[in-house]
Structure 1
Amino acid sequence: MSIVPSRAAASPVQALVAAHRRGEPVGLYSVCCSNEQVLRAAMQVAQRYGTPLLIEATSNQVDQFGGYTGMTPPQFRDFVLRLAAEQGFAAERIVLGGDHLGPNAWQQLPAETAMARACTLIAAYVEAGFHKIHLDCSMACADDPARLSDDLVAARSARLAAVAEASAARAGLAPPVYVIGTEVPVPGGEASLGAGVAVTRPEAAAQTLDAHRQAFAAAGLDAAWQRVVALVVQPGVDFDHSRIQHYDPAAAAALSAFVAGQPGLVYEAHSTDYQTETALHALVRDHFAILKVGPAATYALREALFALAAIERELLPVEQRSHLVEVLERCMLERPGHWQKHYPGKPDEQRLLRRFALSDRCRYYWGEPAVRQAVARLFAGLEQTALPPTLLSQFLPEQYEEVLLGRLAATPSALAQHKVAQVLARYARACARNEAATAPKIERQGAK
């Protein structure tokens, strides 16, 4: 079982982009997450709708030092492979990607030091079989000006692409495909939408594209340039802690028309979390053909786990409960680094944001030992008793209906994964090659 493409293998990403550019109504959704329950749900959705599964790790999640997940790129690859084997999902249908790869995690360091670490990061990802590489050098380092020019961003990106090319050749792997851009939305959503985010101007997209084309040519990377499949722009979609900016096709019409004139290229849309399914279909139609989703999936997982904890409170005596919500809150207060600078306001306002913000910064804490143990105890306790239909109806009504229809097992893990799968299925339907995918065959989901 292998997730690593050989040098002779065709790129599934390039194939989908080519199909889109031929006029087929297809796209590619990217699940940017390292959570086990989310990835299991993603594999179920990809299986049901017949789509490839693009799983991306971000530069702060997974790096050569372990990132906040504690996993290096080879460890993350092996983690995904293990889940695929357990789900019965074919590894060859998985594409691994690296998101925001560049000096992002080391912005507090001088640029040369940060870029040296970014080169090591890129090599580690590519040698581990990550095929889709988002080159993101848009952030300023300690000795940089506050705003970087397109030319400097492009030159740094080309430097990283050269490392990626050499790493793939050294490992005997297919050369990567690349995503570039300078107007890169903030990972995980905005701190505040304010008056909203502006759609990228076509002239700015053209300038970014030209700067990167020249930088790749200057670095002798003409072959690599042929594998640049997407440009990151701002289509006018984003979210903050409590609000969503929804896609407006009219506002993005000129931007869409620009990429239509660029052969072999599509846009990659970040921060598409919480968009309506109609908006996702419209984004793909308008050549924002690679859709990124992350916090919306873990937000759905958090909703499911909180609902299961509410069921637990009704069913089990206090000494047998997981106290998941309280354990999560305590862990976030003890280690506030992932949320404190992001959530403003008074203590009560921060408490609500910690639990319910759309930015879902509690996603950083599901891997903490105490929280992981609480989830395990929650699942174990509820698996020992039949979940009353009345409580399922109260706290997980959509899952209750699927249980009634015999499509879903009434187990904690199956219920939680189904909640996540509902979110990811919107992306699969928006991106699927076949419109029949909107009416998928029904399969009973078990308790893996």
Structure 2
Amino acid sequence: MNTEYRHIPLILASSSPSRRRLLVQAGIDPIIRPSKVDEPAVLAEQAGKSGRHLDDLDACERVGVLAEAKASAVQATMDAVKDAERRSRGELVTFRPLNQSDSGASSRNPMSQVLGAWGGMIDAERGPLLLGCDSLFSMDGVVMGKPHKPERALERLMAMRGRTGTLVTGHCLIDLATGHRARAVSSAQVIFGDYDRATMQAYVATGEPLEVAGSFTLEGLGSAFIQGVEGDPSGVMGLSMPTLRALAQELGVSWSDLWAERVMPERQPADGSTHGPEGLAAPAENVHQPGDGWVDCACGKRHWGLNGAAGVLLARRDVRSGAPVSVLLQHRARWSAEGGTWGVPGGAISDGENPLEGGLRESYEEANIRPEDIQVVGSYLEDHGPWGYTTILAFERPGHHVDPRMNDDESIALEWVDLDKVSGLPLLKAFGQDWPHFRQRLETLAAEG
């Protein structure tokens, strides 16, 4: 009997802590990729297509449409990464500082060969799976979205006292390797208990019910006010686990293939610490991603990324001469390793990614470097054996313009820096050592066209 295990990553197109918690409790460590979909615009478009008014869309139709829109939005960004990967050219230069036999020399391999060796999403026959979800609560046929305002939340909660409403959750699961998708909507009846206005005022004052469907949560402070649930309770928390399992089976994926690899001691810090070399930790609200963590290296240092790390060194070229004139650099957050220094946007490679995919994704998330706007022309790997950092070399594509934007809290600033001014900045140590080589290589690649 063939018992070979192949882990298939799951990408969650949501930043919902409740949905992530449900997956983790079920043995799945999801990759978090929020969709940032304009929900009112999506629903208005759906109503317009069918010649109806927005109010004519019932809760089940709304959550189904929004779940698919969220999944599709993230799929588009992942497809852009794969397209940039297919367009990539150049060479990978590998340096192994811990291998004495290299004697400081670099070994060169064509990037096309290396990509095949790396694997990743572009070579996957199945997966990663991408999940979009959306939930709505209704009572007496009236849809109740997120209240946003305290007075609206209080009014709703008092109207729901002692009554029963319906919470529906839409699910859209996409296999990124094949493009196949499966959809379903789960439903559960929520029975509210008896409570007084003063208690609800105190509950609303906590802020918990303001940004959740129906103005309540089952897993938080609101759990004390819910008398019972008829149907799947996980669906009330924004993701029906039985529904997700059925959708995975519909796409031909075994549920156990989604379970995370829990026991990997060789990839964990010896002391289990989440703190970096300077003893600083990321902000508590930062989302943990598969692949996040510190590795104690044979070089005596602690490096970020259980699967290694990668980033993009993006150069802008002179319109007339084609010569590189500036590079896009990140002023690193104080809490990060060597915080306050300058380097390239990048970070830990997630499960299921190769270094090129990880670098392209991280640079988009941190600096808004869109994969469709750049041309990958080479890369450099500092290989420490159990850990490595890959610097992706790229130019802006002709006719494209990259406008950097801080999409998270990992940057103090993002700036296009003139080549002659880079060495005058307080650079990340490894980047500073490699910068003369990177500059020479970018100039050579630009001259080659």
After TM superposition, the score normalised by the length of structure 1 is: 0.31
Please state which structure has a larger fraction of its residues in strand: 2
After TM superposition, the score normalised by the length of structure 2 is: 0.31
Please state which structure has a larger fraction of its residues in helix: 1
